[in-house]
């Protein structure tokens, strides 16, 4: 068989990711009907925004960018799961690799009082991102940070006795290993269905009621992570074109909405990521008959919306972090959500807000493409800035594809009902996370730089000049 015939008999990981995303979306809508309402509300807002905003500058940012046309806006942009053990994380890494998602970045959640760290599983190449940018925020317990020894022992006992992966899934993973990480269409179909078993909600706890109650009292996240037979998806997140309008529409529709939108304040040139959510709903939990006890109501699962802006450079990130700190300090620890928003709006006036300034000050990553023909001035070499000034190439901001640790902590906290969080006194454990994954963590900045540099190389090749 010729080489490409062999390749053709396997599913493209990006296509499989779309099947996976759609399966997860319909599963989650049936599990949390309020999420279906959210998707309808957001899609309405997006429709109205599309009709009202015809400014080409914002259009390119919102509906596509230098990296190509934006895929369907109504497909979810991310989801999240919480895992209990290194072994679970290792298997989840294998599952997600098959749908083209790879771990990028380290997220320390101890600032939110969570004994957990996380990574973002996401597509890494321009082509893969353009096909379907869905990503998964995956956190995992750090049991060594649980202060209450009895709770820690109990959680570890429960986790040691569970297996969240079906035998069918395990055998498909092994099969993929022997096929260069690929699956045939028939295997792919079985794989998506089997993977959903690991991420679906099980209303019957895998722990007796007194254990559930004890862990919930120690920290609600322990009960959520350790007391169920699966790693239920805890939210999905469609993309909105106007997060303020979506937040308002959710409130008007009677959803119980998060107190404030996480991330940077509203800007003309959107950067990073803004998020809001409806708060986790109470879901009935049963306990196995021989465990006795009445049921409980478990609060972990919610629905979120996100608006993505441009990826910032390390310099842009330092400015973002500094201004956010300053805004929080100015508002004070007990500030109301409105006061915090006001302080942020005031302080962030110092974050440049035109694409030209953001580029000139190297705050945002841009990709480039040839606009005009060969530059009129015939030289063998140019700088990017010269070519932009000559109108030969144009710059468009690169979309941010990652998460924000502080926002993630805020989202986590508002949905756990854990009360005010006190930061844990703990070091990060990047090595521990990488050891559990069995692969190194990708570096987000590296990926944005690569996208930028590849776009410059393409311009150089097209123009037949050297670009520095
Ligand atoms: C994950 C929260 C993080 C985000 O959008 O920042 C997240 C969780 O609650 O498990 O998804
Ligand atoms: Ni999220």
Residue 82 in contact with ligand 1 by CB distance below 6 A: yes
Ligand 2 centre to CA of 236 (Å) is 7
Q: What is the pLDDT of residue 65?
A: 47
Least distant ligand from the CA of 140: 1
The list of the chain residues with pLDDT below 70 reads 1-8, 53-73, 290-293, 377, 417-420
Q: What is the largest CA-CA distance in the chain?
A: 83
- For residue 201 and ligand 1, the question of a CB distance below 6 A is answered with no
- pLDDT value, residue 185: 96
Could you tell which of 228, 243, 403, 409 is best to mutate to test the pocket of ligand 1, judged by most ligand atoms within 8 Å of the CB? 403
Note if the pTM is more than 0.90: yes
Q: If DSSP codes are grouped into helix, strand and coil, which group holds residue 240?
A: coil
pLDDT score of 61 = 44
Alpha helices in 75-148, H assignment, sequence order: 86-98, 126-131
Which listed ligand is nearest to 141 at the C-alpha?
1
**CA 213 vs CA 147, 291, 295: distances in Å:** 17, 13, 11
**What is the Cα–Cα distance from 183 to 124, expressed in whole angstroms?**
20
Model-level ipTM above the cut of 0.90: yes
Q: Ligand 1, residue 234: give the atom nearest the CA.
A: 10
List residues, by chain if needed, whose CB lies under 5 Å from ion ligand 2. Answer: 237, 304
Pocket flag, ligand 1, residue 412 (CB < 6 Å):
yes
Burial degree of 188 (CB within 10 A; 0-12, 13-18, 19+): buried
């Amino acid at each position: 068989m010729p080489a490409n015939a062999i390749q053709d008999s396997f599913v493209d990981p990006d296509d499989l990711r779309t099947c996976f995303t759609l399966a997860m979306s319909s599963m989650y809508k049936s599990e949390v009907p309020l999420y279906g309402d959210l998707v309808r509300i957001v899609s309405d807002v997006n429709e109205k925004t599309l009709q009202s905003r015809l400014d080409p500058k914002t259009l390119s940012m919102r509906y596509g960018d230098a990296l190509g046309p934006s895929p369907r806006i109504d497909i979810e942009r991310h989801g999240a799961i919480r895992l209990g053990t290194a072994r679970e994380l290792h298997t989840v890494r294998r599952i997600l690799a098959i749908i083209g998602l790879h771990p990028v970045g380290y997220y320390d959640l101890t600032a939110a009082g969570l004994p957990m760290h996380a990574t973002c599983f996401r597509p890494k190449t321009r082509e893969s991102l353009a096909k379907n940018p869905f990503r998964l925020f995956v956190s995992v317990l750090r049991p060594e940070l649980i202060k209450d020894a009895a709770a820690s022992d109990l959680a570890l006992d429960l986790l040691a006795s569970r297996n969240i992966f079906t035998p069918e899934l395990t055998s498909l993973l092994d099969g993929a290993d022997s096929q260069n990480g690929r699956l045939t269409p028939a295997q792919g179909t079985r794989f998506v269905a089997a993977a959903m078993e690991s991420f679906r909600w099980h209303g019957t706890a895998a722990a007796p009621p007194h254990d559930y109650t004890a862990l919930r009292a120690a920290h609600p996240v322990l009960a959520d992570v350790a007391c169920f037979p699966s790693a239920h998806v805890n939210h999905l997140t469609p993309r909105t074109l106007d997060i303020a309008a979506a937040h308002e529409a959710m409130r008007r529709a009677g959803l119980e909405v998060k107190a404030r939108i996480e991330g940077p304040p509203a800007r003309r040139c959107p950067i990073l990521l803004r998020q809001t959510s409806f708060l986790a709903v109470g879901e009935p939990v049963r306990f196995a008959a021989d465990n006795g006890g009445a049921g409980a109501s478990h609060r972990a699962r919610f629905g979120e919306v996100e608006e993505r802006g441009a990826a910032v450079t390390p310099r842009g990130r330092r400015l973002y972090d500094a201004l956010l700190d300053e805004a929080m300090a100015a508002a004070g620890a007990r500030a109301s959500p409105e006061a915090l928003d006001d302080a942020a709006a005031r302080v962030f006036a110092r974050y440049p807000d035109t694409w030209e300034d953001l580029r000139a000050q190297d705050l945002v990553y841009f990709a480039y493409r040839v606009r005009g023909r060969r530059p009129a001035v015939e030289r063998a070499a140019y700088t990017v800035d010269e070519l932009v000034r000559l109108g030969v190439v144009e710059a468009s901001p690169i979309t941010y594809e990652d998460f924000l640790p502080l926002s993630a902590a805020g989202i986590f906290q508002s949905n756990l009902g854990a009360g005010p969080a006190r930061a844990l006194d703990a070091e990060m454990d990047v090595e521990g996370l990488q050891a559990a994954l069995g692969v190194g963590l990708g570096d987000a900045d590296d990926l944005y730089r690569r996208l930028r540099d590849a776009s410059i190389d393409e311009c150089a090749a097209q123009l037949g000049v050297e670009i520095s």
